[in-house]
Amino acid sequence: MKFANPFRPGAGHPPPYLAGRSTEIREFERLLEQPVILTNLVLTGLRGVGKTVLMDGSLKPLAQSKDWLWTGNEISETINVSEDRLAQRLITDLSVITSRFVVNTNVVHGMGFLPQREERPIVLDHDLLEGLYKSTPGLVSDKLKAVLEVAWHAVSGSGAKGIVLAYDEAQNLADRAEKDQYPLSLLLDIFQSIQRKGIPIMLVLTGLPTLFPKLVEARTFAERMFKVVTLDKLDERDRREAIEKPITDRRCPIRFTVQAVDEIANCSGGYPYFIQYICYEMFEAYLGPSDGVPNPGITVAHIARKLDQDFFAGRWNNVTDRQRDLLVIIASLRNPDDEFTIMEVVEGSKQHGKKPFSPSHVGQMLSTLSELGLIFKNRHGKYSFAVPMMAAFIQRQTEEND
């Protein structure tokens, strides 16, 4: 029987071994021990650092093991259409855990000559929560607070310590002042309100580094409402464990050489997704993915080329020639993977041999590149690549063109 490839480079797929996240897990464990919810969690980082994997594969089981109920979803941009859309998202997710709790019994009288009496349990399902939402007077915030309070009242007798509402891709949340719709502000307002009442419903948000600045911009009290945990690339030891641990099974037909492990660790930059991708492709090459013919001559450099096409090329092809010029300048800065300012890019453009950029032009283009998901701006007005190892990819493209 063929030994299955243990590596999983899919989006959000749990790896065979989660390396290097013990500190973040302990931080969340401390939040679960709060007697009153004063602090919620923001889990942030670049794409490929394993935010979704950590939330679903470690934080969720940890919360459940400590008698917390967990529900949530992925935030799509359609949620921002209206406050009511956000309300429907919360109601739907809450109903997943509340629908198994009986809140009353319904008496049904039978038909015919002999009256009959039958009691049927009424559970707090989606229809009941939605009915409560619609029948509660007031604003959307008043309605949602009532729903959350009733939901907790229904489950509190079960021994649950609290409820975690967890949302992935939360950077998609945004207010729309032009439409008089404020779903992001609404979310923050209702959680601050119910937590002040001592109701143990915790909010966990994961997203790109743009997430927390958006929260603070929407409501300044968000700065005191969340603990921000930033996932970074793995250190040398954790990289090696992520590469080697999945193939320690004695039935595994291959082993990576010391040189291969070093090259994978370096080429991946320490980003968990890239480690999974490179190891998966190497494993497939060694065993013969389709024709059963192994290709032990495959190198990490070959896989890196494939990664360029699968991961980076699509993003690179979406930008204009002038935007590429700007990205090439950024990639040529002294530390392109760190933060940079508009003036640093302007100065870099003067030394690049092409038409230099003005500060206003750089600012406008960085804003556009942010909308494309290539750049993000932090709270202090500095910028960074939103895609890990994008600078190295751009440098390779530049070398090829030269």
**Length of the chain as a residue count:** 402
Residue 121 confidence (pLDDT): 76
Amino acid at 331: A
Residue 353 confidence (pLDDT): 67
Contact 16, 7 (CB under 8 A): yes
Backbone angles phi, psi at 378, to 5 degrees: -90, -175
Contact 151, 129 (CB under 8 A): yes
d(CA 391, CA 333): 9
User: Kindly report the CA angle at 264 between 263 and 269, in degrees rounded to 5?
Assistant: 100
- Reported as type and span, the H/E element at residue 29 is helix 22-32
Amino acid at 212: F
In eight-state DSSP terms, residue 75 is: P
- CA-based torsion, 261, 266, 269, 270: positive or negative: positive
d(CA 82, CA 104): 33
Residue 397 confidence (pLDDT): 85
Residue 205 confidence (pLDDT): 97
pTM: 0.85
User: Kindly report the CA angle at 40 between 88 and 231, in degrees rounded to 5?
Assistant: 105
Token pair recorded at residue 335: 């530390």
d(CA 28, CA 31): 5
Residue 352 confidence (pLDDT): 75
- CA-based torsion, 381, 321, 330, 52: positive or negative: positive
Q: Establish how many alpha carbons lie within 13 A of residue 1's alpha carbon, considering only the half-sphere containing its beta carbon.
A: 3
10-residue mean pLDDT profile of the chain (402 residues): values are: 81 82 95 96 91 93 96 88 92 93 59 56 87 94 95 90 95 90 95 96 94 92 95 92 90 86 91 91 75 60 84 88 92 88 90 82 92 81 87 85 67
Residue 296 confidence (pLDDT): 57
Amino acid at 202: M
Distances 278 to 20, 163, 233, 254 between C-alpha atoms, Å: 18, 38, 15, 15
Token pair recorded at residue 94: 């809450």
Residue 396 confidence (pLDDT): 86
Residue 152 confidence (pLDDT): 94
Phi-psi region of 28 (alpha: psi -120 to 50; beta: other; left: phi over 0): alpha
